[in-house]
Amino acid sequence: MNTGNIGFMLICSALVFFMTPGLSLFYGGLVRRKNVINTMFAATFTIGTGIVMWMLFGYSLSFGEDHGGIIGGLEWLGLNGVSLTEPYTEGRSIPNMVFCIFQMMFAVITPALITGAVAGRMKFRSLFLFLVFWTLIVYYPMAHMVWGTGGFLKEIGSIDFAGGNVVHITSGISALLLCILLGKRCDLGESKYRMHNIPMIATGAFILLFGWFGFNAGSALSADGLAVHAFITTAVSSAAGMLSWMLCDKAVNHKPTFVGACTGLVAGLVGITPGAGYVPVWAALIIGLTTSPVCFMMISVIKEKFGYDDALDAFGCHGVGGIWGGICTGIFAQTAINPDARWNGLLFGDVQLFGVQILSIVISIAVAIAGTLICYGLTKLITRDLRVEKREERLGLDRTQHDESAYPSFNGLD
């Protein structure tokens, strides 16, 4: 085992872990004062559920012995038998346990992304149960299909370097369906919505950027040239995403906004995630420049036209950005950069990879839709009603769900 690679992967794991508190700050700043605690809590309790479930059975189901290309086995329950000296797959220079730790952090943040779509109106206990079910029914099978040995999507040649399908598409599609099933906030359109803390949003976005370097560069699974390549493509795409969102803001709203720049930064990160270790650096610039306008259009035009209430745009940013990033990976990927890709992208004359990428996106969407419906039904059987009452919603979920206040000295109207 290579101690340098082990140290690198442990640092990357810590960076990915830090993204969940960053997401909590990002989402917390976007909501009203009365829902800050509930929103931040919802985006961070997955630290508890994600790690405990991963230790008990999640890692085994995600990366254990293949069963039908869909799910792993039960040989690593409680992490028994997960080696501290042998790698998960041949040719890797990090122990199985280090790989397990790195992947555990992905399992923590992915369900947390969904919470932004239903902010301000879902019972905490219902959300808690839903995300536990979702992690088991959607996330573990998708992780196995895309990254696990023998996984169906991996076997057909689909590539997803750091989680376009597994993390962003599945959580984004589930967020969209859940917010539709739950219904709109009771005062949506009746009163002007004001995000309560822009510096908090920016702090969260910059923490996400900081952690994303571990997210993408760490997915090389060693401190080598591929990790360096993923690092630079991540930086370029995020920067381009920020700039292109600022241009969209200027063109549509006549003024660039700090919140828009932070959102564009995140959109650029989402867009490059599936292809960070496969596409050239110049393609990362194109991906960042194009992902933000696609997400901007979805958030500012399409959402308003169809009238669904994706409160913090979990689908508009992560779902749409993940889909666009997966498509771009099928266009720009090169086997010379990463031989894990069986074919070059569409731009370089091959069509196989592009077709497989489209198929994998469709399958990921189907799994997310079916899994969300199952999780919603199971949660409703247990909690009966997933929404808080209108009176509770108007008072705010901080008071009604937790008996806490983010700003106890604030007495103004919200």
- Give the mean pLDDT of the chain: 95
Taking phi first (over 0 means left), then psi (-120 to 50 degrees means alpha), and beta for anything else, what does residue 66 get?
beta
Q: Band of the pLDDT at 159, cuts 50, 70, 90?
A: very high
Query: Does 67 have pLDDT greater than 80?
Result: yes
In this prediction, residue 85 carries a pLDDT of 87
8 A C-beta contact, residue 269 and residue 22: no
37 occurs within a structural domain: yes
Q: Band of the pLDDT at 191, cuts 50, 70, 90?
A: low
391 occurs within a structural domain: no
Contacts of 334 (CB under 8 A, 6+ apart): 278, 279, 280, 341, 344, 345, 348
In this prediction, residue 188 carries a pLDDT of 79
Query: Does 178 have pLDDT greater than 90?
Result: yes
Q: Band of the pLDDT at 195, cuts 50, 70, 90?
A: confident
| DSSP string across 186-222 | TTBTTB----S-HHHHHHHHHHHHHHHHHHHHGGGSS
Q: What is the mean pLDDT of residues 249-275?
A: 96
| DSSP string across 107-173 | HHHHHHHHGGGGTTTB-HHHHHHHHHHHIIIIIHHHHHHHHSTT-HHHHTT---SSSIIIIIIHHHH
Q: Is residue 291 within a helix (H) or strand (E), and if so which, with residue range?
A: helix 281-297
Q: What is the mean pLDDT of residues 9-15?
A: 97
* Per-residue pLDDT reduced to its tens digit, 295-335: 999 999 999 899 999 999 999 999 999 999 999 999 999 99
In this prediction, residue 89 carries a pLDDT of 82
393 occurs within a structural domain: no
44 occurs within a structural domain: yes
77 occurs within a structural domain: yes
Task: Tell which residue, 133, 105, 131, has the closest CA to residue 15.
Answer: 105
Residue with tokens 């479930």, as numbered in its chain: 53
Amino acid in position 406: A
Q: Band of the pLDDT at 414, cuts 50, 70, 90?
A: low
Q: What's 374's domain CATH number?
A: 1.10.3430.10
Query: Does 29 have pLDDT greater than 60?
Result: yes
| DSSP string across 306-345 | HT---TT-HIIIIIHHHHHHHHHHHHH--TTT-TTSSS--
Residue with tokens 């969260």, as numbered in its chain: 204
Tokens of 181: 């099933």
- Per the structure, the complete domain to which residue 330 belongs is given by 3-386
80 occurs within a structural domain: yes
In this prediction, residue 1 carries a pLDDT of 79
Q: What is the mean pLDDT of residues 137-158?
A: 96
Count of domains in the chain?
1
63 occurs within a structural domain: yes
* Per-residue pLDDT reduced to its tens digit, 276-292: 999 999 999 999 999 99
Contacts of 399 (CB under 8 A, 6+ apart): 34, 405
Q: How many CB atoms lie within 10 A of CB 4?
A: 11
22 occurs within a structural domain: yes
- Output the pTM of the full model: 0.95
In this prediction, residue 412 carries a pLDDT of 59
